[in-house]
Chains A and B, each alone.
Chain A
């Protein structure tokens, strides 16, 4: 049995917010594939759970009038991977979604849970960083929308205020329009493993030159990061192998990789350099231009 003291299952979002406001210490559980595993490992002992599984509508994926792609926080990864809107407009998110866990996990695990865990290895996180995604956070009285980059506070730590719930991930039109994308998850196994490194690249190319480039890295620092220097350097540059090599060298700079049992710092930096080149090359290809040298 799980070592929990109570389980709340609100039937509406309002009821969920009221409950969380009254008891901010409740542990919010979405798909449960992280929280319940932590309980199995003896963490979170005695916690009270607030389950969002019965709240209707939080799993919807839709296109808003202004071209923003809205992914409900409770959307499971299988649904995101299969969603026609995601596939048409942000296929890189579909790619990241299917790399997460195994099929049974993806059928249950949600994007909101993945983000709120604050895991630097979250496959959705580096991709959402590259997509310039925004998060909608709501309390009983208030709502705010913040860039995902402002949400991560450290390993396993996120900027959720007391009583606050993540309700949706928003990908503005400028985040995805005209961009080719590619996500590479590097792990020891192809399935059911946590990323040693995750690289998400988005590129816009015209007549063989970069117009825009965005690179998100997971497990390269205590929180997912963007590669600002490489992104600022690329626009206007011809897409060549030398350019890709320079982008990769610049992409290593903001990283603060560390040695863990999964991989050493040096190995992770090597991975960043190699995988950024591959991810950007594929993103360029998908953006409708080929890599010339």
Chain B
């Protein structure tokens, strides 16, 4: 399984994974991040590129259900995994309960951070675990938003968790 980059030759490798439930088999360069492959090769442009160093959370995707910064995750590591992006959250044109909660709470302004935040909130709801107010804030703390000031985002995540009976008031 060794690929080598001699004098600029590509370091190519075939990987298979699923994106939003759809099987994907693709030849990648091992130097690519998962973010690169999702955005540039597979055109999942809902995955945003922000800081590129794992600080802003805009590139968050779910890998086997867990939020991960795709900018500092090698595409090669996604081999065999289940990846979800914001494009896979609405089903048959219907917004998910988390997305509905974001709309209801007005938790969106420019929308750049929103895909990542929705994915982190979705991971919370789908975990089936119960969360306190403090834990909700903690689980969203890996996202930077320059518009809403966070409270509406927290309110939206809490609304979704409350409706799913997973919020400890």
Which chain A residues have a beta carbon within 8 Å of chain B's beta carbons?
1-9, 32-33, 36-37, 40-41, 51, 53, 78, 98, 101-105, 107-108, 190-192
* Number of residues of chain B lying within 8 A (CB) of chain A: 36
Pick the residue among A7, A98, A107 that contacts B30 (CB under 8 A): A7
Pick the residue among B36, B57, B74, B77 that contacts A104 (CB under 8 A): B57
Q: Which residues of B contact A104 (CB under 8 A)?
A: 54, 57, 60, 67-69, 120, 142
Question: B11, A190: Cβ atoms under 8 Å?
Answer: no
Q: How far is the CB of B134 from chain A (nearest CB, A)?
A: 10
Q: In the bound complex, what is the Cα–Cα distance between A102 and B53 (angstroms)?
A: 12
Stretch at the interface among B2-10, B106-114, B158-166: B2-10
User: Which has the most chain B C-beta neighbours within 10 Å: A51, A78, A108?
Assistant: A108
- Indicate whether B138 reaches chain A with its CB closer than 8 angstroms: yes
Q: Which residues of B contact A192 (CB under 8 A)?
A: 55, 141-142
Given the known interface contacts A2-B74, A191-B138, the answer about A105 and B31 at a Cβ–Cβ threshold of 8 Å is no
User: Which has the most chain A C-beta neighbours within 10 Å: B5, B30, B143?
Assistant: B30
User: Which has the most chain B C-beta neighbours within 10 Å: A3, A8, A36, A190?
Assistant: A36
Q: How far is the CB of A22 from chain B (nearest CB, A)?
A: 11
Question: B138, A32: Cβ atoms under 8 Å?
Answer: no
- Indicate whether B139 reaches chain A with its CB closer than 8 angstroms: yes
Given the known interface contacts A191-B138, A191-B141, A192-B141, the answer about A5 and B55 at a Cβ–Cβ threshold of 8 Å is no
Given the known interface contacts A1-B29, A103-B142, A191-B141, the answer about A36 and B74 at a Cβ–Cβ threshold of 8 Å is yes
Question: A9, B142: Cβ atoms under 8 Å?
Answer: no
Question: Told that A1-B31, A1-B33, A191-B142 touch, could you supply 10 new A-B pairs with CB distance under 8 A?
Answer: A1-B29, A7-B31, A8-B1, A9-B76, A33-B54, A36-B54, A101-B54, A102-B142, A103-B141, A105-B142
Q: In the bound complex, what is the Cα–Cα distance between A184 and B52 (angstroms)?
A: 29
Which residues 42-88 of B sit at the A interface, judged by CB distance below 8 A? 52-55, 57, 60, 66-69, 71-74, 76-77
